[in-house]
Structures are given as structure tokens and as C-alpha cells.
């Protein structure tokens, strides 16, 4: 009786696997971006091999420092651009297409695949039922060249999401609820398999955020068990209708199980300087905020923008507010639906397809002593700029309400 993790890795390795086994697996996709991709190329140059296992199996998207804010960034992108051109890689996306993790789920990843990414937030692809891991440049280069990698089969842990979330509660709050319950190091060596009892009550945008935050829980992988919502998303985004979605065996064995009643999840933030320093918004209400960031591979999806626009409509931000939809496609749809105009009229600066503010790269670096509320995934010292700045992580509703009032707040305070 196999879990979804065991079934996926058994297929990829060509033999039956069990937790704790060290296995070599075939990978379906290998991906990297501008910041890590250069190091992948460096490894290839050092070993004297400049090829990939199959051109369509490699995905590249420029996202971390785009458009390039300095000469060095531009030169790095030039090098990767030449690499993609020389090897005739069809899945290369230049500046302006989107953040790599969003690009992967919008255009490439399928349930049951093994996905290796030169970035820790590879776990995002688990929302579609894939086994996705982030690895270092050497391992990613090896996977890109050979189409294979090795890993230890993780221990499976079952999470069940019950009921329906209250208004404005999203995947970010559910992620923080899990971090509050287990802290950031509990799931080391584990694969979290998430079952949603009411699939349409927890849409793909929310799942992508929870999967993205799986690495913040130190899980080897976080996988949503595919269901009707998975099928809906694939059909809507790519016109695909999967004939079969692999699921765990009915009597699959897990090391433990945890249930979350979505109706009970509250508005939460991760206070400085740790992702598991989780508090209710009421505990930190009133903290004055200099900047708000709504975006990134964690919080820059269409539903995040919709929530922010509804809360900020007809109002004016007191804190400076930067909004970054995760992809060109997301931006375009938000533009068509009027969300971008609403946010701009509220005083937000809106761009798209860059990780800039999340990593303290550009488009919103924090100065000494500044406080930010961000829908991104990390708040450790210096993450968004100065080591003397402070970052609170939140969902889009709290971020939007905070921008309007200039202090940490729940959406009910501005509506």
C-alpha cells in the first residue's frame, strides 16, 4: 500500500521503493533561473560537458534580478541567453515572462512528475501533485546533463484540510497555521501529502502557496493529492484533461497525520525574524509599517491581487505599496479584470514577473530600521534589504489592509 510519494519515486526509479531508500531516479523536468543558472553553467564548464538530456526537459526563466539592475546581472543573463540559444532550448523565457516557479506550474509541470530546480522553492510544483525538490548547482547540472538524480525516499506525513476557509483566508494563513503547530524544522526528511476534503473550497492558487511554503517547513517535498481541482486548473491553464490522476493507495501508511479545520484558521503573520514566529494579527495590531509588498512566487497570483484590489478599492495607501504579479499571464488577466487599475489608483506601484523585493534585490529594498509586511516566504535578518529592517509575513488581505492604514491590520478594519 503505497503513498503518492512512494508511487511517484517507484515509477521514476523503475523499482518499488520505501521510505529511507536511497534511489536513483529519472527526472521529468530540470529548471533554473538567472541567479542560480549561472552557477549551473559554471559546473558544466568545469566538467567539460555542455549538453542537456533533452532540450524540452529544461526550463529557464529570468526572474530574480529582472530587469537587470546592474552590469553584472546583465552579463550573467547574457551568458545564460547564449547557452539557451546554442543548445536550442525551446523552454527559455527571457525578462518579462514570469517567476520561474509560476512559469513551471502554468506551462510545464504535470501530476506525478519528478521536478528538480536550482532554487529552494521548487516545492511550489507539488501543488499539482509532482514530487519537486530544490538542489544545488552541481546536482542540477548533473540532472540537466544526464536526466537523472539520486535522493533519499522521505518519510510520508499526511495532512487533511477539512471544511472551507472564511472570507479573506488563503493558503498563506494555512501555511502559517502549520508552521505555528510544527515549527520550521519538524518535517526534515519528510514528504507532506495534503488531502483536501472539499477540493473546490481550496483552489489551486491557495495550494501553490502552501506547497511553496513547504520548504520553509523544511520538508523534502509537499505534495497535494490530485483531485478535481487539479483537473480544473490543468484544463483552464493548458487545455489538458488528464485521463488518470495518481493517488495514494487507500491503506497507505504514514508516519503521522494532522487535520486542519479551515474554518478555524485565523489571520496570522510571521513576525521577525523567523518564518515560524507566528502570531495572530491581533497580537501585533498597531505596528507601524513603512512598506508593503504583495507579490512573489508565494503571494503574487490572481486571487492575491483580487483580494488586495477589493480591500483597497476607493482607498489610498498610507504605506508605500509594491505589487508584483508572479507572471505576465497573471498581470494580463489582472489588467483585464481591473485589479491593476484599482491598485494603481490606491497608490501602489505595479510591475510583474520579478523576485526583486522578495530577495532584497531591487524594486523595493528596505532601509535601516524600516518595517515591511510582505506576502513572500522569508523574513530572516536582511532578507529584503538592511539587516536593521524588519519583515512580517502575511496573506494578501492583511497586507492590503496594512497598506491602507499604515499599520498591521485585519481587513475588517478598513471595510
Residue with cell 536526466: 147
Q: What is the pLDDT of residues 362-386, one digit of tens each?
A: 888 999 999 999 999 999 999 999 9
Tell whether 96 and 135 lie within a shared domain. Answer: yes
* Half-sphere exposure at residue 232, Cβ-oriented, CA atoms within 13 angstroms: 10
Same domain as 107, residue 126: yes
Report percent pLDDT > 70 for the chain. Answer: 100
pLDDT at 100: 98
176 occurs within a structural domain? yes
What is the grid cell recorded at 47? 566538467
Q: Beta-carbon neighbour count of residue 180 at 10 Å? A: 16
CATH of the domain at 250: 3.30.499.10
Peptide bond into 28 cis (omega under 30): no
User: Looking at the structure, do residues 404 and 299 belong to the same domain, yes or no?
Assistant: yes
Cell of 3: 503513498
Q: How far is CA 364 from the centre of its chain?
A: 19
**Domain presence at residue 15:** no
Burial of 85 (0-12, 13-18, 19+ CB in 10 A): exposed
* 160 in the same domain as 79: yes
Tell me if 195 is assigned to some domain: yes
171 found inside a domain:
yes
Question: pTM above 0.75?
Answer: yes
Indicate the residue among 244, 262, 280 that finishes a domain.
Answer: 262
| Domain shared by 284 and 333, yes or no | yes
Nearest alpha-carbon partner for 62 in 80, 40, 85: 80
Q: In degrees, to the nearest 5, what angle opens at C-alpha 368 toward C-alphas 364 and 372? A: 50
Q: Judge if 250 and 155 occupy the same domain.
A: yes
Which residue carries 528596505 as its cell?
A: 366
Residue 13 lies in a domain: no
For residue 11, what is its C-alpha cell? Answer: 515509477
Q: List the domain range (segments joined by +) for residue 340.
A: 268-413
Question: pLDDT band at 179, cuts 50/70/90?
Answer: very high
> In this model, does residue 180 exceed pLDDT 90?
yes
Residue 176 CA to residue 355 CA, distance in Å, equals 21
- Residues 209 and 283 occupy one common structural domain: no
318-360 pLDDT tens trace = 999 999 999 999 999 999 999 999 999 999 999 999 998 989 8
Residues 95 and 51 in one domain: yes
- Domain endpoint, select from 262, 278, 299: 262
How many Å apart are CA 205 and CA 298, to the nearest integer?
9
Q: Say which residue the cell 550573467 belongs to.
A: 76
- The predicted pLDDT at position 244 comes to 87
Amino acid at each position: 500500500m503505497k503513498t503518492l510519494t512512494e508511487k511517484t519515486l517507484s515509477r521514476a526509479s523503475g523499482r518499488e521503493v520505501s521510505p529511507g531508500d536511497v534511489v536513483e531516479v529519472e527526472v521529468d523536468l530540470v529548471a533554473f533561473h538567472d541567479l542560480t543558472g549561472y552557477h549551473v553553467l559554471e559546473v558544466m564548464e568545469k566538467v567539460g560537458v555542455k549538453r542537456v538530456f533533452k532540450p524540452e526537459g529544461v526550463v529557464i526563466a529570468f526572474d530574480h534580478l529582472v530587469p537587470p539592475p546592474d552590469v553584472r546581472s546583465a552579463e550573467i543573463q547574457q551568458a545564460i541567453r547564449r547557452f539557451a540559444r546554442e543548445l536550442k532550448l525551446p523552454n527559455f523565457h527571457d525578462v518579462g515572462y514570469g517567476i520561474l516557479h509560476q512559469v513551471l506550474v502554468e506551462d510545464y509541470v504535470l501530476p506525478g512528475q519528478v521536478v528538480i530546480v536550482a532554487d529552494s522553492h521548487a516545492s511550489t510544483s507539488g501543488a499539482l501533485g509532482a514530487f519537486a525538490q530544490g538542489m544545488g548547482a552541481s546536482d542540477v547540472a548533473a540532472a540537466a546533463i544526464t536526466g537523472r538524480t539520486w535522493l533519499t525516499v522521505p518519510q510520508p506525513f499526511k495532512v487533511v484540510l477539512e471544511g472551507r476557509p472564511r472570507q479573506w483566508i488563503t493558503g498563506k494563513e494555512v501555511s502559517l497555521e502549520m508552521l505555528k503547530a510544527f515549527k520550521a524544522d519538524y518535517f526534515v526528511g519528510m514528504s507532506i501529502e495534503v488531502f483536501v476534503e472539499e477540493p473546490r473550497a481550496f483552489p489551486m492558487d491557495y495550494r501553490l502557496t502552501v506547497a511553496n511554503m513547504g520548504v520553509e517547513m523544511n520538508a523534502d517535498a509537499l505534495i497535494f493529492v490530485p483531485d478535481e481541482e487539479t483537473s480544473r486548473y490543468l484544463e483552464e491553464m493548458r487545455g489538458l484533461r488528464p485521463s488518470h490522476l495518481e493517488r495514494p493507495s487507500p491503506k497507505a501508511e504514514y508516519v503521522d497525520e494532522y487535520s486542519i479545520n479551515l474554518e478555524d484558521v485565523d489571520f496570522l503573520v510571521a513576525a521577525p525574524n523567523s518564518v515560524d514566529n507566528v502570531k495572530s494579527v491581533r497580537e501585533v495590531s498597531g505596528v507601524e509599517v513603512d512598506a508593503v509588498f504583495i507579490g512573489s512566487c508565494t503571494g503574487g497570483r490572481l486571487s492575491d491581487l483580487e483580494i488586495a484590489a477589493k480591500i483597497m478599492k476607493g482607498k489610498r495607501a498610507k504605506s508605500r505599496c509594491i505589487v508584483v504579479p508572479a507572471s505576465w499571464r497573471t498581470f494580463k488577466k489582472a489588467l483585464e479584470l481591473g485589479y491593476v487599475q484599482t491598485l494603481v489608483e490606491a497608490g501602489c506601484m505595479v510591475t510583474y514577473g520579478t523576485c526583486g523585493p522578495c530577495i532584497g534585490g531591487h524594486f523595493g529594498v528596505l532601509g535601516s530600521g524600516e518595517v515591511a509586511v510582505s506576502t513572500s516566504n522569508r523574513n530572516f535578518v536582511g532578507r529584503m534589504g538592511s539587516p536593521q529592517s524588519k519583515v512580517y509575513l502575511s496573506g494578501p488581505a492583511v497586507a492590503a489592509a496594512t497598506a491602507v492604514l499604515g499599520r498591521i491590520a485585519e481587513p475588517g478594519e478598513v471595510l
